[in-house]
Amino acid sequence: MPDSKTRIIVSGAAGRMGQAILRLASDDPTFEIVGGLENAANCGNSQTIHSAGKKYPLASTMAELNPPPDSVLIEFTTPEATRIHLAEAVSANLKIIVGTTGLTETDQAAIREAAMKLPVLFAANMSAGVNVLLGVVSRLAAALPDYDIEIVEMHHRLKADAPSGTALALGESAAAGRGKKLSEIVRHGREGIVGQRPSGELGMHAVRGGDVAGDHTVIFAGQGERIEVIHRAQSRDTFAAGALRAARFLSAQKPGLYSMKDALGLA
Ligand code: NAD
């Protein structure tokens, strides 16, 4: 294998993101797919997973897969599975990309702790467009301090967490532009006699339906005008391509916590 190949393990291999990552990596000779991880129920009796006419080892535990050290684990699963795989990545001396959303504060502390021992990249959204947008939103929030900020996101009906990790990241960027933390100013939805909107509040609204891959709108509403910044993911391939770009970046890094800004050269 040429040194330039990046070895990857795809966790959540039968899921929507796992399938997109396997398909793109199968077609890219710069990646070597060590195998896929799936939960035991989804593995059934199968020890292989197919993508783009090729087959790869499939396992329900890291021990079964036995990846070479320095392989990059790409994790798009559930918070519960991510917790287990993070610990296993540390034991097996891997590198890990975490794309799973809905993580708790404790999970995020575990990610920071793991990053002291191995290279870790965490991003709630791996698309290049959204990562550029995070900076734009922060600058707009700072430049328009009196404008009301509302974030509206829409995703497919199967999404487990709300609001989306991307909406929270956009909210954190907007809040940072105002010198605040999102938790100090966020208001999730409104119902009933809610009264006048307090200035400085940041409204957050989650819409669910159909098969929407991910739409986010950040509204800056002033007197007599408003700006709406919209990002629409037309397919999951944008996130999958970002995850592979992140894997290639991470394979050359020392232990530490990295973001998509680092992988995209925006930091
Ligand atoms: P999905 O439900 O289609 O896939 C998740 C897969 O993980 C399933 O196949 C499931 O069986 C598997 N899984 C569950 N437990 C497991 C375990 N213990 N070991 C191995 N596999 C296990 O979901 P999805 O749409 O692919 O999204 C997965 C996660 O990624 C969600 O949290 C979602 O919000 C997030 N996501 C992040 C980005 C990003 O850019 N960061 C983009 C899209 C989705």
**Is 254 among the residues known to form the active site?**
no
Query: Does the beta carbon of 100 sit less than 6 angstroms from any atom of ligand 1?
Result: yes
Is pTM beyond 0.75? Reply is yes
Retrieve residue 192's tokens: 């009933």
**Is 159 among the residues known to form the active site?**
yes
Residue type for position 85: H
Q: Report how far residue 64's alpha carbon sits from residue 134's, in angstroms, rounded to the nearest whole number.
A: 39
> What integer pLDDT is reported at residue 1 of this predicted model?
46
CA-proximal residue: ligand 1, atom 12 (nearest): 12
The radius of gyration of the chain from alpha carbons, rounded to an integer in Å, stands at 20
Query: Starting from the edge strand earliest in sequence, which strands make up the sheet with 202-208, in order?
Result: 186-188, 202-208, 148-155, 215-221, 226-232
> What integer pLDDT is reported at residue 3 of this predicted model?
59
- Please pick, among 5, 54, 159, 180, the residue that the annotation labels catalytic: 159
- Please pick, among 155, 205, 216, 231, the residue that the annotation labels catalytic: 155
Distance 76 CA to ligand 1 centre (A): 4
> What integer pLDDT is reported at residue 103 of this predicted model?
96
Atom of ligand 1 nearest to the CA of 156: 25
Distance 178 CA to ligand 1 centre (A): 33
Q: Report how far residue 27's alpha carbon sits from residue 232's, in angstroms, rounded to the nearest whole number.
A: 25
Q: Which one, of 261, 176, 174, 187, lies nearest residue 220 by Cα?
A: 174
Task: Please provide residue 124's backbone torsions phi and psi, each rounded to the nearest 5 degrees.
Answer: -70, -20
195 dihedral zone (left: phi>0; alpha: psi -120 to 50; beta)? left
3-state helix, strand, coil in the chain (%, to 5): 35, 25, 40
The pLDDT tens digits along the chain (267 residues) read 445 799 999 999 999 999 999 999 999 999 999 999 999 888 877 799 999 899 999 999 999 999 999 999 999 999 999 999 999 999 999 999 999 999 999 999 999 999 999 999 999 999 999 999 999 999 999 999 999 999 999 999 999 999 999 999 999 999 999 999 999 999 999 999 999 999 999 999 999 999 999 999 999 999 999 999 999 999 999 999 999 999 999 999 999 999 999 999 998
Contact (CB, 8 A) for 201 and 185: yes
Query: Does the beta carbon of 11 sit less than 6 angstroms from any atom of ligand 1?
Result: yes
Contact (CB, 8 A) for 141 and 175: yes
> What integer pLDDT is reported at residue 46 of this predicted model?
78
Query: Does the beta carbon of 77 sit less than 6 angstroms from any atom of ligand 1?
Result: yes
Retrieve residue 259's tokens: 């973001």
